[in-house]
Amino acid sequence: MLKDITLGQYFPGNTVIHKLDPRTKLVITTLYIAVLFIAGNFISYSVVLAFLILSIYLSHIKLRVILRGIKPLIVIIIITGLLNLFYTEGKELVSWWILTITAEGIKRAVLMIMRIIMLIMGTFLLTYTTSPIQLTDGLESLLSPLKKIRMPIHELSMMMSIALRFIPTLIEETDKIMRAQKARGADFETGNILQRAKALLPLLIPLFVSAFRRADELAVAMESRCYHGGEGRTRMKQLIMQSRDWLTFLGGALLLVCIITLNVYGL
Amino acid sequence: MANRIEIQNLIYDYKSFDTTTRAIDGINLTIDSGCFVAVLGHNGSGKSTLAKLLNAIFLPTSGKILIDGMDTCDESKLLEIRRRVGMVFQNPDNQLVTNVVEDDVAFGPENIGVPPLEIRKRVDDALHTVGMSDYSKHAPHLLSGGQKQRVAIAGVIAMRPRYIVLDEPTAMLDPRGRQEVISTIKALNRDFGITVILITHHMNETIDADRLIVMADGRVIADATPREVFKNVDRLHEVGLSVPDTTDLIYKLRASGLDIPIGALSVEECARSIYDYFIRRDS
Amino acid sequence: MAPIIKTENLRHLYSEGTPFEYVAIDDICFEAEKGEFVGIIGHTGSGKSTFIQHLNGLLKPTAGRVLFGGRDIYESKAFTRDVRFKVGLVFQYPEYQLFEETVYQDIAFGPKNMKLSEEQIDIRVRGAANFVGLDEDLLGKSPFELSGGQKRRVAIAGVMAMQPDVLILDEPTAGLDPEGRESVLANIKRYHDAVNCTVLLVTHSMEEIARSVDRLVVFNRGRIAMNGTPSEIFRRGEELESMGLSVPQISLVARRLKELGLPIDPSVFTVEQVQSALLALRGGAADA
């Protein structure tokens, strides 16, 4: 199960999607998320879905890999779906005990599930095709106007990048500690919620201790490599907008216009 | 100014809320540019503290460290000192900053403001030097321990340092990884003239050094060529250190009355001197 | 005598059914007697770590069986859980799994999970602490205040306190300095001799364990490549080197002396062995 968490992973590649400027990808992803929330019916969702599938296709990332990322969140998705299914008012179709299914409920549940799944897939596509350092650079560059009002943009983006770097390491470590405690008879699988929460202590405490130790060592290592914040820092990979970036923006704008039009005309 | 590290009357205390522990207790050393120095000692002997002092991660409680004439306490020289004295640490997982090997190697040069094209060149050169060019786009967490350490070394040499301090770089590696790292370090010294300060508790890694410094309780208790240092078997035993098995064998044979000259370190030297003894006897 | 632990044609696939699938271990037939001290050697990725995790049921074999006292460990759920305690496993860098407020409580974690009485737990905790050379006054301290070497001992004591019939340690000396390595090995040896349990010690440096173990098992590419006494194994030094394993320096000296023409048995692996062989040779030469 832990191995299914693929957030923060990056799959190197040489496709158009990989080569896009990270700023373009960040803007388009934000736009994509916005569009997902604006879209209100099946037709607009299909358009957005087509856009997503095209992007996935261009990225050469296997659909299965992206879908795998959804697995750990499946419970949340199902609960959201069920809540929408049962608690939407409208034309009653089936009613049993306190549960009522309405036609609107079915529609909303399906749309909601699609929305979450597409949201996850879209953001995963971003992290899968953009190395964390690029992502950080992109974010820093996009948010740099905020530096004027003394927002620590460089620091925030560095923190994000390091967090992403250490996710696989910490997942591996969690797995290891879990097995080590199991070897001492720890039981993570049975008992009620309270017992289970308590059973997690032997896992969480060592994990925190180790995260702090790592943070400490990493800080020293970074300092010894002359890290002193964003001031005077150069970049090996400079961000330069190419024509493919402008074309992508055009595509994104078209998508936005398309969805708004569909909404206005209530299709 | 002369190209060397000068350590003068160095003292360093660790302070926690109520106790003070003396980690370095009066050290004087001069390390000349270009040599390969090994520092041997137990955990708690002060050798890792010394490493951090050389790079201005720690500042002396009293005494002075001069890197090519620059005082580590001089804040205006801090970046230049850290650029000249590169550090490689024990745990390969906790010193790589990014998810892509080449981006990590670029991290140091980026911090000191090297122009982008120049960074690209340095990164490629550094990865080539440590034999990791084929892995430039890999994620560090998928590499072996020895490979990670070589990436860490590349990250340091991309800053074009004059000195490189390695704090037990092989402690967490398996024999193959250890071999990879040690031969990389030796090549840096031999082929590129980088001064290597290798801190370790593996005696076998110190054999090829030009100079071996032994530390115990925050002091230097021996400082000579490995051959000379290991001759002093009793003194090393006193501070709880052992000697290479080759030296140990000859030492024990001498104790049993075999007149074999002490000082052999490599397997070949050891076998030769024993063999010579028997040939001499028989003739 | 029936072996206490045995595996029959053990095979384990990682990421089964995905493109990343690979065989971690294959066709492992291994057994150990009660009271035996076995060294398991292999390079990283040779499958040794995967193998040992099968012995206490942490990993389930893709094919083959694991028998404890002649019974399949998956015979029943209760027995599988029982085996968890009977086959104690100390992982690599075990100090990173410490979590309790005091050293005492941390060592008591395993025995507590076994649902032993307070008195029983107390006896075991103190006994185990003694075996690894931890002073009584350390028991009340937080494990996080201790030095690296002491933490390692606490973690090992935590498994010893379960009094397993088979104690498995994965690289118990990794990252320690020479003094720490020696004393941890001595503790394990002392424990083995005192309670006569089976010990499986996994390592990639055979220098340190050659003199303690009765038998060495060498893993290579997921299979058992060699199995025999230390002398039998070290006689095949070149093969070991080709597997990326380091042969003790002293064996190399012996090998070189033999090449030069001295009649030395190249399967020796301790300084004392070579010393006495050479002294005998001198005696012989003097007589001649």
Mutate to test the interface with B, among A19, A130, A224, A227 (most CBs of B within 10 A): A224
Query: Structure pTM?
Result: 0.86
Pair A31, A255: CB distance under 8 Å: yes
Tell me the average pLDDT across A27-41. Answer: 89
A183 touches chain C (CB under 8 A): yes
* Residues B10 and B101 both lie in one domain: yes
Domain hosting residue B269, numbered range? 244-283
Cross-chain Cβ contact B240/C179 below 8 Å: yes
**B57 assigned to some structural domain:** yes
Tell me the average pLDDT across B214-237. Answer: 92
Cross-chain Cβ contact A180/C94 below 8 Å: yes
**B67 assigned to some structural domain:** yes
C142 touches chain A (CB under 8 A): no
* Residues B256 and B200 both lie in one domain: no
Q: What is the pLDDT of residue B18?
A: 80
How far apart are the CA of C183 and the nearest CA of chain B, in angstroms? 12
CA distances C48 to A9, C32, C66, Å, are 28, 15, 15
**B205 assigned to some structural domain:** yes
B268 touches chain C (CB under 8 A): yes
Q: What is the distance of C-alpha A245 from the center of its chain?
A: 22
Beta bridge partners of A96: A99
Question: Chains contacting C with at least 3 CB pairs below 8 Å?
Answer: A, B
* Residues B131 and B180 both lie in one domain: yes
CA of B119: which chain A residue's CA is closest?
A: A236
Mean pLDDT of chain A: 86
* Residues B51 and B102 both lie in one domain: yes
CB pairs under 8 A between A and C: 55
C283 touches chain B (CB under 8 A): no
B239 touches chain C (CB under 8 A): no
Cross-chain Cβ contact A225/B108 below 8 Å: yes
How far apart are the CA of A131 and the nearest CA of chain B, in angstroms? 7
**B233 assigned to some structural domain:** no
How far apart are the CA of A67 and the nearest CA of chain B, in angstroms? 22
Q: What is the pLDDT of residue B36?
A: 97
Q: Residue B117 maps to which CATH number?
A: 3.40.50.300
**% of chain C exceeding 90 in pLDDT:** 69
* Residues B120 and B199 both lie in one domain: yes
Q: What is the pLDDT of residue C2?
A: 81
Residue C15: is its pLDDT beyond 80? no
How far apart are the CA of B129 and the nearest CA of chain A, in angstroms? 19
pLDDT band of C287, cuts 50, 70, 90:
very low
Residue range B121-159, pLDDT digits in tens = 999 999 999 999 999 988 888 899 999 999 999 999 999
* Residues B177 and B248 both lie in one domain: no
Q: What is the pLDDT of residue C284?
A: 58
B281: nearest CB among C207, C272, C285:
C285
Cross-chain Cβ contact B176/C179 below 8 Å: no
Please give the tally of structural domains in chain B.
2
Q: Which residues of C touch A174 (CB under 8 A)?
A: none
Residue range A88-100, pLDDT digits in tens = 777 777 777 777 7
* Residues B216 and B260 both lie in one domain: no
How far apart are the CA of A127 and the nearest CA of chain C, in angstroms? 21
* Residues B254 and B221 both lie in one domain: no
Cross-chain Cβ contact C43/B44 below 8 Å: no
**B172 assigned to some structural domain:** yes
Q: Which residues of C touch B253 (CB under 8 A)?
A: 275, 278-279
How far apart are the CA of C258 and the nearest CA of chain B, in angstroms? 9
More confident residue, C107 or A10: C107
Q: Which residues of A touch C84 (CB under 8 A)?
A: 182-183, 185
* Residues B109 and B222 both lie in one domain: yes
Q: What is the pLDDT of residue C142?
A: 94
* Residues B117 and B255 both lie in one domain: no
Q: What is the pLDDT of residue B100?
A: 87
- Residue ranges of domains in chain C, CATH in brackets: 5-247 (3.40.50.300), 248-288 (no CATH)
Cross-chain Cβ contact B44/C256 below 8 Å: no
More confident residue, B226 or B282: B226
Per the document, the length of chain A is 267
Residue range B76-98, pLDDT digits in tens = 999 999 999 999 999 999 999 98
CA distances B281 to B210, B268, B274, C102, C283, Å, are 33, 20, 11, 63, 11
* Residues B221 and B146 both lie in one domain: yes
Beta bridge partners of B27: B10
* Residues B26 and B110 both lie in one domain: yes
Residue C167: is its pLDDT beyond 60? yes
B111: nearest CB among A168, A228, A238:
A228
Residue C286: is its pLDDT beyond 60? no
Tell me the average pLDDT across B5-14. Answer: 95
**% of chain A exceeding 70 in pLDDT:** 96
Cross-chain Cβ contact C110/A176 below 8 Å: no
Q: HEC profile for chain A?
A: CHHHCCCCCCCCCCCHHHHCCHHHHHHHHHHHHHHHHHCCCHHHHHHHHHHHHHHHHHHCCCHHHHHHCCHHHHHHHHHHHHHHHHCCCCCEEEEECCEEEEHHHHHHHHHHHHHHHHHHHHHHHHHHHCCHHHHHHHHHHHHHHHHHHCCCHHHHHHHHHHHHHHHHHHHHHHHHHHHHHHHCCCCCCCCCHHHHHHHCHHHHHHHHHHHHHHHHHHHHHHHHCCCCCCCCCCCCCCCCCCHHHHHHHHHHHHHHHHHHHHHHCCC
ipTM: 0.90
A236: nearest CB among B94, B119, B138:
B119
**B88 assigned to some structural domain:** yes
Q: What is the pLDDT of residue B242?
A: 82
How far apart are the CA of B5 and the nearest CA of chain C, in angstroms? 27
**% of chain B exceeding 90 in pLDDT:** 75
Residue A187: is its pLDDT beyond 90? no
B115: nearest CB among A133, A226, A234:
A234
Q: Which residues of C touch A1 (CB under 8 A)?
A: none
Tell me the average pLDDT across C135-148. Answer: 92
**B20 assigned to some structural domain:** yes
Q: Which residues of A touch C156 (CB under 8 A)?
A: none
Cross-chain Cβ contact A180/C84 below 8 Å: no
CA distances C163 to C89, C158, C192, Å, are 11, 10, 11
A201 touches chain C (CB under 8 A): yes
